[in-house]
Chain A
Amino acid sequence: MFRYTFHIILILTGGLITWMAYEEMLGLYTLSVLMFMGVNIIMSTSLNLVNGYMGEFSCGHAGFMCVGAYISSILGVLLFAKDKVFGAPLLDPSLAIYAFPFLILAGGVAAALAGLLVAIPSYKTRGDYLAIITIAANYIIISVIENLGVIGGSRGFMGMKRVINAMEDVAYLPWMPIWVFLFTVFSVWLLRRYLSSTFGKGVSAICQDEVAAEIMSVNTNKIKTISFMVSSGVAGIAGGLFAYVIGYVNPGSFNILKSTEALVMVYLGGMGSLSGSILSAVLFTLLLEALRPLQIIKWVVIPLLLIILMQFRPEGIMGNKELGDMFPWLKKFYKFK
């Protein structure tokens, strides 16, 4: 019974948020902060797979988020909403309620394919040279979208609210909080399962020593390809959710600053610790919101806080450990198999 405490708490939390959103006890502001928290958790855990566990320095993660955001919003608007550019919806808008998870997953798959842009050069390239390739990939993705006039170019793309309205017409529920919660749990579960599998141990082997791993018959190219694809695919899921939460995307919001934010969350939490990434994503989102009144000084205070934190705890909040390793009694309460 103890072993399922964590699952029960998770289900209760999800249910509580949904119920409170339904009863309108949570304001729109609180709700949107909670949803951004979910998106940030997905981003930081997925980046941690590459940066923390695999030991590569990827700093263009927002590019994959951009692919996911655009693909899932274009598909959604094309299929289920009336739009100036795409015309009448191709399918009945009442079907949106069933197809929505597939829209987000389609964005994830597209982002995973975009991840090949980084994965294939990574066979031969290591270290800082790979960092450049990821930055270049980020810029390439953004400029391609900026040059595509059909989907709005640098002006951005909107119309996702109509898809959500179509879902709410069928059944009145706070759909976005529900989906963000479910996809956050799904992404963390996926990454956790991936990393604790036998195949996933190879990821840590690459981090320790790539050449030695290869000698010990670890297929490094295969592991790198799949890890980059999983990581960017999950980032694409985060992007799709982000697009639907805001209801508007433009390529400028997925620039290198967004990637920096993701990097900060990973290194604040500690490389190689999923629970650290979750914790730091929550803290970072709260910090961003708490310091909002400072306006531009916010972006001086936050980096300063981080630098000070780095001086006193250079390995991040959790270092290389999971929450269960730091507090062993917690292990009674969950079962990840």
Chain B
Amino acid sequence: MLASILQNVINALQWGSFYALIALGYTLVYGVLTLINFAHGDIFMVGAYIAFFVASFALTTLGMPGWAALALTIPATMVLTSLVGVTLERIAYRPLRRKGAHRLYVVITALMAGLILENGNLAILGASRKAFPPLIHETVYTIGGVSFTNLKIAVIISAFLVFAFLHWVVTRTRVGMAMRAISYDKFAVPLMGIPMDNIIVVTFVLGSAFAGLAGILFAMSYPVLEPYMGALIGWKAFIAAVVGGIGDIRGAFIGGFLLGAVEIMVVAFFPSTFRDLIAFTVLLAILTWKPTGLFGVAKTTKI
């Protein structure tokens, strides 16, 4: 009994790590721009595909061994994915921001950009699924009936490392200070001589790079890639970010693990078709009980 609970906890931690990694990207962009970047789930998908191409290139054309290919894939994917994110910001969001369009129109643009990424991928690469090449040898460890692989541990550890890194960036560095300043008052910040556009680009770089990292880890854990893989996981990560209180890094992280835990527990005790139903009902209940999410602070409005 205890062993099965622990097993589920480890599964939940792994599944929650993906949500947490993607939710961190949502919350960074939202915290700075109050923009829901609905294309973020598809940036995660693009990251997984980029990882696929880089890894196959390294393995077959360059003939590298698995560990070296992995060492090449991780930085290359993160850089290329962040380029995609920054391009999106540059082409689609920045002109709208300059024109002072209503922020919901930017959200619609983000939705459309996500559709373009998904269906562009489908049109270029075709509907056949891609199998991600195995990069490292998976070893299964069993301690007291609880079994876990080295990959699971790596996923969980990297989620925590990314969280620690982002927390450090936001609270301790000058860039992080500028980010917090922009989210506090968007109009006074340029007057202080802070280059707003650069800070926003940095935000997009950070968010997209970690979405790319999540893409690699996801592709290694579940080695089947398809163009629509980012859509549902993106929506759910967004929900995780909001349940944690969007704009707050701790909130996104904990929300991601919470959603992962709820989903794994539902699958463990109910038929798996009930997963979405119960997970979303729990989230609806949490939001009704605490309307600004777990870590969110209600804004007071002056009239």
Contacts and interface: CB of A to CB of B under 8 A. Distances in A.
Interface of A: 51, 57, 117, 120-121, 124-126, 128-129, 131-133, 135-137, 139-140, 142-144, 146-147, 209, 211-212, 215, 256, 260, 263-264, 267, 271, 296-297, 299-300, 302-304, 306-307, 310-311, 314-316
Interface in B62-111: 92, 95-96, 99, 101-102, 104-105, 107-109, 111
B122 interface: yes
B291 interface: yes
Interface in B143-175: none
Given A136-B284, A271-B104, A307-B92, A143 B273 contact: yes
18 contacts: A121-B284, A124-B291, A125-B287, A129-B292, A131-B36, A140-B281, A146-B273, A211-B301, A256-B235, A260-B111, A267-B105, A271-B104, A299-B119, A300-B116, A310-B101, A310-B108, A314-B96, A314-B105
Contacts of A316: 105
A93 B179 CA distance: 66
A135 B274 contact: no
B284 A140 contact: yes
A285 to B, nearest CB: 17
A52 to B, nearest CB: 9
Contacts of B235: 135, 256
A320 B283 CA distance: 34
A8 to B, nearest CB: 37
B96 A147 contact: no
A119 to B, nearest CB: 12
Contacts of B112: 264, 303-304, 306-307, 310
Interface stretch (B46-54, B184-192, B238-246): B238-246
A140 B239 CA distance: 14
Interface string B10-35: 00000000000000000000100000
Contact of A136 (B122, B123, B273, B280): B280
Contact of B102 (A126, A136, A271): A271
B58 to A, nearest CB: 29
Contacts of A135: 235, 239
B2 to A, nearest CB: 31
Contacts of B138: none
Contacts of B118: 299
Contact of B242 (A128, A263, A311): A128
Contacts of B280: 136, 139-140, 143
Contacts of B102: 271, 314-315
Task: Give me the 3 closest cross-chain CB pairs, A-B, nearest first.
Answer: A314-B101, A303-B112, A143-B277
B123 A296 contact: yes
B119 A300 contact: yes
Kindly name the residue among A212, A256, A300, A302 whose own CB sees the greatest number of chain B CB atoms within 10 A: A300
B105 A315 contact: yes
A264 B274 CA distance: 30
A304 B118 CA distance: 12
B276 interface: yes
A263 B239 CA distance: 19
